[in-house]
Chain A
Amino acid sequence: MSFNGGVPIRQILVALVVIPVLYLVFNIYLAGSFLVALAMLVVTCLGALIYLCDWGYTYRYLFPGFLGFGLFVIFPIVYMVFLSFTKYSSQNLLYFDRSLALFRQETYPVGNATYTYKLYAQDDGSFILYLEDEKDPTKRYASEPFELKAGEQLKEEQEPGILRALAKGEEPKGKALEVAQVTREKLFIPMRGRQFSLPDGTLVGMQGLQKFASRERLWTINADGTLTNKKDKTIIRPDFKQGYFVNDKGEKVGVGFRTFSGFDNYIRILTDPRIQGPFFKIFLWTVAFSAISVLSSFSLGMLLAVILEWKELRFRRAYRTLLILPYAVPAVLSILIFKGLFNQEFGAVNEFLRGIFGFAPEWETNPWGARVMILLVNLWLGYPYMMLICTGMLQSIPDTLYEASAIDGSNPLVDFFKLTLPLVLPPLVPILISSFAFNFNNFNLIYLLTAGGPKMVGGGIAGETDLLVNYTFNIAFRDSGTNYGLASAIATVLFIIVGFLAWINLKMTGRNVKI
């Protein structure tokens, strides 16, 4: 280990980073996330070793980048693949433990004592609950101050709050909130999750919005993992295949939980007609969209590049600057601008077409109109990049080649197809492939321009112009039955397709330039 002029700068820097991180790790451990804390500890130790020991020299350059890459690229992929083997949707949203805890929280009214209540707001933002027996108004109780977050559903099971009897004439501190106010400020939502115990030990909880009543837990948990309903004595058991608790008749009870489902999600893509139909249709459109986008923007870009390479043409620089404008403007803005221009009723495109040709295509409601619009917009967005790349390629061809061909009495068209294209195309193939892969996942364009519309008839949430990536996004985040498991399976398939393209690309470039 070397010391720079006596001051161990490196060691001090490592300590300055490691100590706060260790403090954070400790806090995370205390908060109960043991595995995360352990993983962080391992990574921290590895990092410290790399920066302190001589053998780690090479990795000092790689560590920070790989940390970010691992967390935000690799982890999401692993997580996605993991989710694709689970049943995880809005119906099966909770972990098993949470689902079980919900059963344990369920109570039912027992006895016939009911109480009216008030909440007393304290100066520090906490609340005191005040109860008064409806039949015997001398029986009054008050709780200790506790926290309530308006509108928030309680996630964890709370210890019952303690209620003490109030002496005659004694009033709780603070400002009283009537029931109407409690309802309006959505304080009843967190209140529902709370239980309170009277001095004699009976539990009370909210009954409806107006009252409190004494309650008892509805379910007893048996040793074999089944639950017994105390009211009607039915028994339910967890079914890990369905991700639900079921009773003897096989009916689902309560809310579902997340569970492993093996290859179910993948099989669904292949066999479930509601998924399979749209999936293949969307797959075809995705391929067609990517291929046409690449070919059209490449052809146009190449054409413009060739014209602008013509040395005798004046204003070439000005033309080129103006032509790359679509590349310079943030794509989000241009896409949204086109959404306005192609507006079916009031947009500029249709006003123009109506004025000149007397017809107005349905860019929004007709699937083919929408597709043509998307391809046109993507051409507008994509040709400058191709033009720039082609310009670079053309400039690398020595002029002597053309001079030789001119002597042979050639014309520009023959020159281009016989001379330029064969020279330029091979090194361009990787760029065309990566452009294809980019368009394959061109989420922004579709999401902002058509949002997938128009809707596919009988396709559920699938839209006629959705790309696979948009379809997946809709299944995960927009579907009425938010289905993360299925979305993850489609995402995995998508990743394999695009990853395969990237791999081919890599092999092809590997031949040209050694890595």
Chain B
Amino acid sequence: MNAEQKVLVRKVCAHAFVIGFLILVLVPFVMVISASLRQGDFAPSRLLPDKVSLDHWKFVLGIPYQEVVNPATGETRMVKAGTPPLLWFWNSIKISLVSSAGIILLSSTAAYAFARLRFKFRTTTLGALLILQMFPMVLSLVAFYVILDFTGQHLRLIGLNTQLGLIMVYLGGISNYIWMIKGYFETIPASMEESARIDGASQFQTFIRILLPMSLPIFAVVFILSFISYMSEYPVASVVLQSSDNWTLAVGANSFLYEQEKLWGRFAALAVLSGVPITVVFLLCQRFVIGGLTSGGVKE
């Protein structure tokens, strides 16, 4: 075998491996789509649905449809979701968007102080931020409950069972993002800000007018990463949000899968309808995310 043949064999092997692996990765997605279109409630198990029906999609979209109650007599009834499940997707989008915007606001200002200003206990605080954030959010639930129960008594807008309350809790998790943004700020030379200062700009102006516009890529990364993590957050949302019209996607999707009755069809339809847009947006932004992950990786 000469060198050229060797390379060819290697190439074929590489393609075969990657394609084989891709099939493993992609089959679950195909099966979910098929389960969402399949009549009846079956766990995802087929590539193609045997009996196609749009009932599950209609249910998720909040459109009433006829369901056969008794196949023998052909008796039917109208079914319509009390809370249209797509509302949960919308709630999740709202909560994640607002939380991510808040995260950017809070962490970029703090990161600025850590990157450009000097103050006592700076390095200690930075380290403490990282270590304290390691405390799993799930185990803070008792405390979250106490806090929101209290605030709810005085300000009904940010109590238990309010989306604003959940957003407040989410805004606590800023320390990883402070680290990421701080790392990026430090790669930008301070000389431009210094010369602006000499020209008479205030410190705050150099932050807003010079540093922030130059740091847009890292903000994109932070926004996308925090957005994704909030879209998937389950335990805190499930405790804070109690009524079904307030639920997020994660809480609502899990509610279809009771121990006793697993409504796979509806779950699959919801997963497809809400998963597809998020995935598409992520893939469109992947350049940012990859850049952010790798640069953050080297630095942290």
The minimal Cβ–Cβ distance linking B87 to chain A, given in whole angstroms, is 17
Contact indicator per residue, chain B 100-142, by CB within 8 Å of chain A (1) or not (0): 0000011101101100011100010011011111111011111
**Is A502 a contact of B130 with CB atoms below 8 Å?**
yes
The minimal Cβ–Cβ distance linking A89 to chain B, given in whole angstroms, is 12
**B271 interface hit (Cβ, 8 Å):** yes
Contact indicator per residue, chain A 76-92, by CB within 8 Å of chain B (1) or not (0): 11011001000000000
List residues of chain A with CB within 8 A of the CB of B286.
321, 324, 328
Report how far A380 CA is from B27 CA in the complex, Å: 12
Which of A36, A75, A308, A494 touches B136 (beta carbons < 8 Å)? Answer: A494
User: Given A76-B135, A77-B132, A506-B131: A313 and B169 within 8 A (CB)?
Assistant: no
**Is B142 a contact of A83 with CB atoms below 8 Å?**
yes
Segment from B52-60, B63-71, B226-234 that makes contact with A: B226-234
Segment from B41-49, B74-82, B212-220 that makes contact with A: B41-49
Most buried by A among B28, B126, B146, B268: B28
Report how far A324 CA is from B286 CA in the complex, Å: 9
Give the contacts of A422-454 with B (CB-CB under 8 A): 427-428, 430-431, 437, 441, 443-444, 447-448
**Is B300 a contact of A509 with CB atoms below 8 Å?**
yes
**Is B250 a contact of A332 with CB atoms below 8 Å?**
yes
**B84 interface hit (Cβ, 8 Å):** no
**A323 interface hit (Cβ, 8 Å):** yes
Which of A75, A304, A330, A477 touches B147 (beta carbons < 8 Å)? Answer: A75
**A401 interface hit (Cβ, 8 Å):** no
Report how far A64 CA is from B106 CA in the complex, Å: 6
Report how far A332 CA is from B274 CA in the complex, Å: 12
List residues of chain A with CB within 8 A of the CB of B1.
none
Give the contacts of A218-249 with B (CB-CB under 8 A): none
Segment from A142-150, A205-213, A468-476 that makes contact with B: A468-476
**Is B264 a contact of A340 with CB atoms below 8 Å?**
yes
Number of inter-chain CB pairs below 8 Å: 279
Segment from A66-74, A166-174, A261-269 that makes contact with B: A66-74
List residues of chain A with CB within 8 A of the CB of B203.
57
List residues of chain B with CB within 8 A of the CB of A71.
147, 172
List residues of chain B with CB within 8 A of the CB of A396.
298
Q: Nearest residue in A to B289 (C-beta to C-beta)? A: A388
**A58 interface hit (Cβ, 8 Å):** yes
List residues of chain B with CB within 8 A of the CB of A312.
7, 11
Report how far A327 CA is from B232 CA in the complex, Å: 11
User: Given A31-B154, A341-B31: A333 and B275 within 8 A (CB)?
Assistant: yes
Report how far A329 CA is from B172 CA in the complex, Å: 24
**Is A385 a contact of B283 with CB atoms below 8 Å?**
no
List residues of chain B with CB within 8 A of the CB of A501.
134
**A393 interface hit (Cβ, 8 Å):** yes
List residues of chain B with CB within 8 A of the CB of A404.
none
Q: Nearest residue in A to B22 (C-beta to C-beta)? A: A322
List residues of chain A with CB within 8 A of the CB of B278.
328-330
List residues of chain A with CB within 8 A of the CB of B267.
336, 340
**B25 interface hit (Cβ, 8 Å):** yes
**B160 interface hit (Cβ, 8 Å):** no
Most buried by B among A319, A327, A333: A333
By secondary structure, the B interface counts as: helix
By secondary structure, the A interface counts as: helix
**Is A77 a contact of B140 with CB atoms below 8 Å?**
yes
**Is B117 a contact of A58 with CB atoms below 8 Å?**
yes
Which of A33, A79, A325, A469 touches B138 (beta carbons < 8 Å)? Answer: A469
**Is A68 a contact of B171 with CB atoms below 8 Å?**
yes
User: Given A73-B172, A506-B130: A340 and B35 within 8 A (CB)?
Assistant: yes
**Is A343 a contact of B43 with CB atoms below 8 Å?**
yes
**Is A333 a contact of B140 with CB atoms below 8 Å?**
no
The minimal Cβ–Cβ distance linking B63 to chain A, given in whole angstroms, is 22
List residues of chain A with CB within 8 A of the CB of B35.
340
Report how far A33 CA is from B297 CA in the complex, Å: 46
**B14 interface hit (Cβ, 8 Å):** yes
**Is B28 a contact of A24 with CB atoms below 8 Å?**
no
Report how far A330 CA is from B254 CA in the complex, Å: 13
**B279 interface hit (Cβ, 8 Å):** yes
User: Given A65-B178, A330-B278: A76 and B106 within 8 A (CB)?
Assistant: no
The minimal Cβ–Cβ distance linking A24 to chain B, given in whole angstroms, is 6
**Is B28 a contact of A334 with CB atoms below 8 Å?**
yes
**Is A427 a contact of B279 with CB atoms below 8 Å?**
no
Identify 10 residue pairs between A and B in the complex whose beta-carbon atoms are under 8 Å apart, listed by A's number. Answer: A65-B107, A71-B147, A72-B171, A76-B140, A310-B14, A330-B274, A346-B45, A472-B139, A476-B139, A499-B132
Apart from A494-B139, A495-B135: 15 A-B pairs, beta carbons within 8 A:
A33-B150, A58-B113, A61-B110, A73-B135, A315-B15, A323-B25, A325-B29, A333-B274, A337-B28, A340-B44, A346-B43, A427-B298, A443-B138, A499-B131, A499-B135
Could you tell me which A residues sit within 8 Å of B by CB distance?
Answer: 24, 27-28, 31, 33, 36, 57-59, 61-62, 64-66, 68-69, 71-77, 79-80, 83, 304, 307-308, 310, 312-313, 315, 319, 321-334, 336-341, 343, 346-348, 351, 380, 385, 388-389, 391-393, 395-396, 427-428, 430-431, 437, 441, 443-444, 447-448, 469, 472-473, 476-477, 484, 487-488, 491, 494-495, 498-499, 501-503, 505-506, 509, 513, 515
